[in-house]
Amino acid sequence: MTSDITFGPPLSADDITRYLELGEYAFSSAPPKTPRLARIEEDEPDGPLMRVGRRGGEIVGRARVVPMGQWFGGRSVPMGAIGGVAVAAEHRSGGVGTAVATDFIRVARQHGFAISTLFPASLPIYRKVGYELAGTSYHYEIPIGITAAPRRLMEGVTVRAWREGIDPLRPLYAAEAARSAGKLDRPPTFWRGVLDEGDQAVHAVVAERDGVPLAYLAYTQSGQYDADRYIDVRDFVSTDRAATRALWTFIAGHSGTVSAVRLWGSAADHRLVDLPHRGQKVLVAEPWMVRIIDLPAALTARGYPQAVTAELHLDYRDDILPANTGRWLVRIAGGRATVEPGGDGRIAATSRGLAPVYSGHLPADLVADAGSLVASDDDLALLSTAFAGPSPWMADSF
Ligand SMILES: CC(C)(COP(=O)(O)OP(=O)(O)OC[C@H]1O[C@@H](n2cnc3c(N)ncnc32)[C@H](O)[C@@H]1OP(=O)(O)O)[C@@H](O)C(=O)NCCC(=O)NCCS
């Protein structure tokens, strides 16, 4: 029974302390001495929306929604990133987690997000409320010995140290993200973190041709000199293949003191194409899930392959956000979609059926399942073509 739980933001310093304690218990990160999240919320209009669930005056669950965007089809889609979902241990397995998730989905809708994304620790709770696997971020470990590209392949690209801060490099990130799927349109707090890691030194270099930056690398080093030592990549962003090779050769210059590079990437990663030898390992494949929050907004915000012209007749069901439920006619042409009520509803879908197709994670015929996505073979093929794109991943986690 969870109808006795009420939801809202933390209202006092004691609430914030309890919010942080629940997070510490669940994720064992020591709470800061001052309630930093509260400060973030006051200082930054883009800060997290903290949510707590109360039962009889006691806070029994919490989560946060962080406003940002996520790139699909060359456009940034307004996205609420869910993090820090935790239920007090003595209240678990009684539906509180589901109530917390239902609340943050409604909050995401109220704040105008088109989709919501999260990294699940366990999947059933999020599936119950409409999230489905929609991308995978791979953490690669690449032995330093396989990173050098021949210098003749640099095509006039040079690498130099970068000390001018992250802002001038953000257009490179956006250009690469527009050609990828799933990368975050980062909020300011995430951008600040790229080159600022407290007391750890973050290094940055750019690869440029004729003084024009084409790629950048931000990284830290970890481990022991006489044991395993790593370059840990914060951002490796490239818009040019020769510049990618130049950055790998820059990395290879560390071969005397570093054993391997670790970076987040996609299943089919354009930055790994020119590695001259095989030998990379995947340390972990981290799946993430998406829920459609506002169906027309989600469909019109993302971009589509220019060559695709399609009409999708959706019969959509959403038990938590009923405004999404109904028949929708989606017309896709020239890389954009329009959505209006109507159509013959021959594609039956819920968020769990549409989300993996929307992100380009899976073709529709592999997702089709009674209850989440049911359509004719022709319409499944049309869906797969309309949402086709590169393998979705992101360089960040939250
Ligand atoms: C995950 C967590 C929030 C779930 O809260 P809860 O109150 O126990 O969730 P509910 O009782 O609403 O359960 C929801 C569904 O998820 C399932 N579930 C809950 N915890 C689970 C777990 N650890 N592993 C697998 N399934 C789980 C339940 O079986 C239930 O499905 P059902 O109704 O079909 O049986 C809670 O266990 C928790 O705080 N865990 C520690 C922090 C954490 O893992 N957070 C998630 C980070 S993404």
Instruction: Residue 341: give its domain's CATH number.
Output: 3.30.1050.10
User: 352 and 313 in one domain?
Assistant: yes
C-alpha to C-alpha distances, 148 to 220, 255, 265, nearest whole angstrom: 19, 10, 19
Final residue belonging to a domain, choices 241, 274, 307: 274
> Does residue 139 lie within any of the structural domains?
no
Q: What is the pLDDT of residues 177-228, one digit of tens each?
A: 999 999 999 998 899 889 986 777 899 999 999 999 999 999 999 988 777 9
User: 233 and 351 in one domain?
Assistant: no
To the nearest 10°, report the CA torsion of 308, 350, 316, 6: -130
> Does residue 125 lie within any of the structural domains?
no
- What is the span of the domain harbouring residue 160? 148-274
> Does residue 21 lie within any of the structural domains?
yes
If phi > 0 it is left, if psi is from -120 to 50 it is alpha, else beta; for residue 345 that is left
Task: Show Cβ contacts of residue 83 under 8 Å, excluding neighbours closer than 6 positions.
Answer: 48, 63, 64, 66, 118, 119, 398
User: 107 and 156 in one domain?
Assistant: no
> Does residue 345 lie within any of the structural domains?
yes
The pLDDT assigned to 29 comes to 66
The pLDDT assigned to 225 comes to 76
| Ligand 1 mean position, distance from CA 86 (Å) | 9
List, for the chain, all residue ranges whose pLDDT scores fall below the cut of 50.
38-43
Final residue belonging to a domain, choices 239, 274, 309: 274
Ligand 1 atom having least distance to the Cα of 99: 12
| Ligand 1 mean position, distance from CA 316 (Å) | 27
> Does residue 326 lie within any of the structural domains?
yes
Query: What are the helix (H) ranges across the chain?
Result: 13-27, 36-43, 96-110, 124-128, 170-179, 188-195, 241-252, 295-301, 351-358, 364-367, 377-386
User: 252 and 183 in one domain?
Assistant: yes
Ligand 1 atom having least distance to the Cα of 82: 48
User: 372 and 308 in one domain?
Assistant: yes
Ligand 1 atom having least distance to the Cα of 96: 7
User: 87 and 60 in one domain?
Assistant: yes
The pLDDT assigned to 42 comes to 45
Q: How many domains are there within the chain? A: 3
> Does residue 200 lie within any of the structural domains?
yes
User: 306 and 267 in one domain?
Assistant: no
Domain with 91 in it: what CATH number? Answer: 3.40.630.30
> Does residue 26 lie within any of the structural domains?
yes
Q: Which two tokens stand for residue 378?
A: 């022709």
Please give the Cα distance from 374 to 352 (Å, whole number). Answer: 12
Final residue belonging to a domain, choices 65, 90, 113: 113
| Ligand 1 mean position, distance from CA 123 (Å) | 8
Please give the Cα distance from 203 to 138 (Å, whole number). Answer: 22
Please give the Cα distance from 204 to 216 (Å, whole number). Answer: 7
The pLDDT assigned to 323 comes to 98
Ligand 1 pocket, CB under 6 A: 26, 85-87, 92-98, 120-122, 124-125, 128
User: 154 and 259 in one domain?
Assistant: yes
Coil, strand or helix at 230: strand
Q: Which two tokens stand for residue 216?
A: 């950048």
User: 253 and 356 in one domain?
Assistant: no
User: 268 and 296 in one domain?
Assistant: no
- Nearest-CA residue for ligand 1 atom 14 is 125
User: 264 and 217 in one domain?
Assistant: yes
Residue to mutate (ligand 1; options 19, 64, 93; most atoms within 8 A of CB): 93
> Does residue 109 lie within any of the structural domains?
yes
Please give the Cα distance from 146 to 148 (Å, whole number). Answer: 6
Ligand 1 atom having least distance to the Cα of 87: 39
The pLDDT assigned to 200 comes to 78
User: 216 and 293 in one domain?
Assistant: no
- Short-list 337, 330, 333, 335, CA closest to 316: 330
The pLDDT assigned to 132 comes to 98
The burial class, CB within 10 Å (0-12 / 13-18 / 19+), for 189 is middle
Q: Give the CA angle between residues 298, 300, 304 to the nearest 5°.
A: 100
